[in-house]
Chain A
């Protein structure tokens, strides 16, 4: 067996794979955050709460409506996306053009309300969501046992990420989005329905968070606090990738998963901190992040 830094290579491989899977979650979440930041210039502190909502919609729709996992995969993003659109239309819209700090304060307040209500309704312990039958068990890869579900997570997350990337970077819609960020008034004067565009964008960002929530439901405890802890790391990912860069969010998400995975082997105590260390280093060398454009 090959040994690398005191760790067998096979173990290392397994850890890298797991890191990548965690990275897929980061990528999904930071993608939504980056899109929302890109168009609304809002640091969406409610993103963690939306992720949590996604997981809860999945759980509750099973418990009360008997909706299965595969259906929830569509239902939850749709529901949360709609909630997001309502939030945009009735709250965020009223502060367009104000300092971006107010968006932060508003979404932070929303997160407190949503999470507080869920704590009141469902307690804090969290519940578990049954693994869908088709994804039970796992593959023996030789160097590790890979649960089928985790394999599915990475495939599903990557597909969604890249479809989103393609939509934004390679289609007309995407250039509307990017331009709408900069000068919404002028875009209106070109005949684009910017308010609708913004509502849909926030809704889509929320739906992405909820999609991550559905993916998380069977493997992590579904609890009101599940998003809050993740949020700050996801911010870091977006910044390292370069704010507003879609590809940056995806690639950095995966990369951070890997780096975190390695840290968990070599210096687990620092696993929650390593992302910030990377952030400091990256910003010192590349002030606009890995993929960001310097202005």
Chain B
């Protein structure tokens, strides 16, 4: 509609989710723009960025202003689910696009789906499904779920319970802890006392880290219980160290050390940022490149035109092979079951995961048949 492509990057730049996406995600976005030469078909690419402070009103206000005043075409980043929900409403009202790579809630492409956003990297369903499936196959039947007591934790708990029960497992106990919590010893003790074979951590960020650390102090694994993290990010493992996290099974949408392509990109990123990218940061890059390609191909920045093109085109880049965007806005790609290395195995600071196997995209994500998305029913 005008002679510039305008991209807004909205994320938590200073709070809990800073390391997951934050300034690093912005850097990934810049890399994508640079790789495009700073312009598409002669139209300059202009970036805006803002800190949402994890507050929905701040995020919504920023995006509204971007759209009203700066005529921003697409919003990327997007981490805290409450912020994303608020932003999605506005993006939908104004008929723009949102490319979500941080938020985990699978509801975004389920009951809250809209024709104006695409969910790129992972969601609660895929993460819990992947890990639970693998652990169940290894014979862990009795589960204890430690869930964060808010929408995200509840979603994770529900998705997880479904998988466990579908595959013949049993949830023998669960506890919902307040978000955030300072001390997890009580919950870990309850998990220990439950007699479950597997303790699932259906929480994220600081809470997950804290719970994991406590579990290791109370010798959960020594007493024969297995730990399964549902939402574990590279930055969590890195900051906790291998001593605490070793052996943890997790599902990831991407890992920097998978193949030459990923390594090459990750090294470039590392040079600029000084850290290895998380999957969310890689997702920002990937989704932006895909978006810009679609703009280039259609020579339009109309959200629906571009979206159709994005759906049409499979994603083949360092992030995903044969990734596909579905009608409900879910970008379906392969996920990976990983295990955290032992300190002895690890050869460098960021050498943290063993990739055990690939979970094909169709298996990893909720199938459209189960979807409540209004775009699908019609």
Interface residues of A, Cβ cutoff 8 Å to B = 8, 11, 14-15, 18-19, 21-22, 116, 119, 123-128, 130-131, 138, 144-145, 147, 149-150, 219-221, 223, 225, 229-230, 233, 261, 264-265, 268-273
Contact = CB atoms under 8 A, between A and B. Distances in A.
A233 B178 CA distance: 14
B270 interface: no
B192 interface: yes
A11 B36 CA distance: 60
B11 interface: no
B41 interface: no
Contacts of B193: 8, 11, 14
Contact of B217 (A15, A219, A272): A219
Contacts of B238: 125
Given A125-B239, A271-B177, 4 more contacts: A128-B244, A265-B190, A269-B177, A272-B181
Contact of A116 (B14, B213, B236): B14
Nearest to A11: B193
Contacts of B217: 131, 138, 147, 149-150, 219
Contacts of A268: 149, 175-178, 186-187
Residue with the highest number of chain A CB atoms closer than 10 Å, among B149, B178, B183, B218: B183
B213 A220 contact: yes
A14 B218 CA distance: 12
Contact of B239 (A14, A221, A270): A221
Given A126-B209, A131-B217, A221-B239, A19 B14 contact: no
A119 B244 CA distance: 22
Contacts of B219: 138, 145, 147
Contacts of B187: 264, 268
Nearest to B186: A264
A128 B236 contact: no
Nearest to B18: A124
A128 B241 contact: yes
Contacts of B182: 22, 220, 229-230, 233
B186 A221 contact: no
A170 to B, nearest CB: 32
Nearest to A124: B18
A19 B180 CA distance: 17
What are the 4 tightest A-B residue pairs by CB atom distance, in nearest-first order?
A125-B239, A272-B178, A264-B186, A125-B19
Interface in B172-220: 175-178, 180-183, 185-187, 189-190, 192-193, 205-206, 209-210, 213-214, 217-219
Given A119-B14, A273-B178, A125 B185 contact: no
Contact of B183 (A220, A225, A265): A220
B313 to A, nearest CB: 35
Contact of B213 (A11, A138, A219, A270): A219
A21 B214 CA distance: 14
B186 A145 contact: no
B241 A221 contact: no
